[in-house]
Amino acid sequence: MGALGYNIFADMYGCDASILNDVEYLRAVMKEAARKGNMSVVRTIFHRYEPHGVTGVVIVKESHLAIHTWPEYSFASVDIFLCGTNSNPYEALKYIELKLRPKKVYTNSMERGMAIEYERIK
């Protein structure tokens, strides 16, 4: 048995601060990223904080994409979590990078739920 899910984390530094505070722009970027990654959008939830910053989640049939922004630091944190093998999270991430235009990006990924089989055979 393989992993139950796959998680990609990206820290994006040096983004345009005005983009990171624009809820509707970020919603459109994240929805299109889901489509580019062959995911089916179910719902979006975005919130703008005062005086700045946005948190947004795009719920997809395959799981979710999330973004958290700190315009005051020109920083965005992106998480993409997927179940199944029909989607391409790296295409989604590539699109987000294109639209946020960070100067530096650090990514990490991990398989989730690998201990399920181990727990069953104990």
Active-site residue 83, yes or no?
Answer: yes
Cβ atoms 79, 8 nearer than 8 A:
yes
Written as one letter, the residue type at 112 is: R
**Pairwise CA distance, residues 116 & 8, whole Å:** 20
Active-site residue 64, yes or no?
Answer: no
Active-site residue 63, yes or no?
Answer: yes
Residue of 40, 52, 64, 83 with catalytic role: 83
Calculate ∠ Cα 74-77-80, nearest 5°: 150
Cβ atoms 82, 6 nearer than 8 A:
yes
Residue of 40, 47, 52, 68 with catalytic role: 68
Residue of 15, 63, 64, 87 with catalytic role: 63
Q: Show which residues are catalytic.
A: 63, 68, 83
